[in-house]
Amino acid sequence: MFVRFLSIFISSLLFVGFPVHAAKVKTTVYVGYETGFFSKSPNKDTVEKAKPILRQQVWKKYLTRIQPEQRALIEQKASEVEARLNEIIAEVTVIDTQVDEGARQMKFRVEAIVNDDMLNGILMAKSGDKAGQEEIYVSFLVLPRLQSEVKVFDAKVVKKASSTSKITTEQVAADDTKESDSGSAERSVEGEKVTISSKATTSGSTTRKPQKVKWRLGNARDVDTAVNRTLTTAGFEATTYGDAGPRCDGPKTKEARADLLASEAAELSDDVRGAIFNALRGRLKKEDDCKYDLFILGTLDIDSIMKDPNSDNIMTRANVSIKVFDLRGKRGPKTIASMGPVAYQDVGATEDDATTKALLKAAKEATQNLVQQLRAKGL
């Protein structure tokens, strides 16, 4: 039988409010009597002693929720992460505690706040043995796209009908006897019996054409700032395509953006893509400052705007598709990291507010994910 007692709040540090970007984790932890932490009458000191176990179990739960690339990077930086785990998992709250005297164990239902910003800062920082390496120069074109027109086609229904008829002819014979005052007479009658049968069948098909979407440019300035800040914080020398490509004789920013806005597949056309690669590899303008190491290309598409069912706010969704190209190879650019399609949602009081929040969230978190992939490759 379980005995319940007062929930106890545990905190290793005190904060005013939660971190700007944090993950909430809930889990259940079982601690046996044999640990020596408590006996039949657990108290406040019991929970304090169990705190390291609770934090470790929260951490294990958190690791199951993140991307494989991020887990691999955490393994590489295990000692650095472990040393700051008390800061990363800033708060742990015991929601409910039960004691099973028969099983001689204590059950904790806990909720914790994991500081994603702090963790990402550790993961994106260069390791000590890489601090002296040459800088990596990155240019990026990450375009926010908003739907300006959506054409939805009605379903086309085609029905087919067919029928078959069958005519059967059968020879028949019969004797006919006719009575009269003078006697009776018999005669034989021969003829044909005709039977007509028919069968009808119907079938059909439905064809639905995919919707056509026209895109317009979103808040590119804020997205560029978010991407640039994340890359710079991670130690990369980052430059927007607008500041790099045209200067190196590549397509103008307006032309590159227009090409990407016109694409249904969120890809550059072959001609524009090739021209951008040649410009950023220093093949069009023979100058050292036109040779970039990496190019990041992607779109953040606002493809859903709706009312939040849980409030009076507006909810928007940004669908992310993004790639990182290594420009240094002799055989041409190759993809070394990618992400998407992945959707990020956010809410705001107005449509513009919600859209801005969703775009900035998508830009930051997608770029952090790419940085983690690059770190895992040693960059």
Per the CB < 8 A criterion, the answer to whether 346 and 316 are in contact is yes
CA dist 163 and 232 (Å) reads: 73
**What residue type is 24 in one-letter code?**
K
At residue 227, the pLDDT reads 93
334-348 and 314-326 strand pairing: antiparallel
Nearest to 343 by CA among 294, 305, 296: 305
At residue 304, the pLDDT reads 87
At residue 81, the pLDDT reads 85
For 331-358, give the DSSP string: T--EEEEEEEEEEEEEEESSHHHHHHHH
Give pLDDT tens digits along the chain (379 positions). Answer: 443 333 333 333 333 233 345 678 888 888 776 555 555 556 666 667 777 888 888 888 888 887 777 787 788 788 888 888 888 887 788 888 787 777 777 888 888 888 887 887 777 776 554 545 678 999 999 999 998 765 444 445 556 666 565 666 666 565 555 555 555 555 555 566 656 666 666 666 655 555 577 889 998 999 999 999 989 888 899 999 999 999 999 999 999 999 999 988 888 999 999 999 999 999 888 888 899 999 999 999 998 898 888 888 899 999 999 999 999 988 889 999 998 889 999 999 999 999 999 999 999 989 988 988 888 888 8
CB count within 10 Å of CB 228 equals 20
Beta bridge partners of 144: 300
Phi, psi of 104, rounded to the nearest 5 degrees: 55, 55
CA dist 219 and 318 (Å) reads: 13
Q: Cis before residue 341, ω within 30 degrees of 0?
A: yes
Torsion of CA 179, 181, 185, 191, to 10 degrees: -50
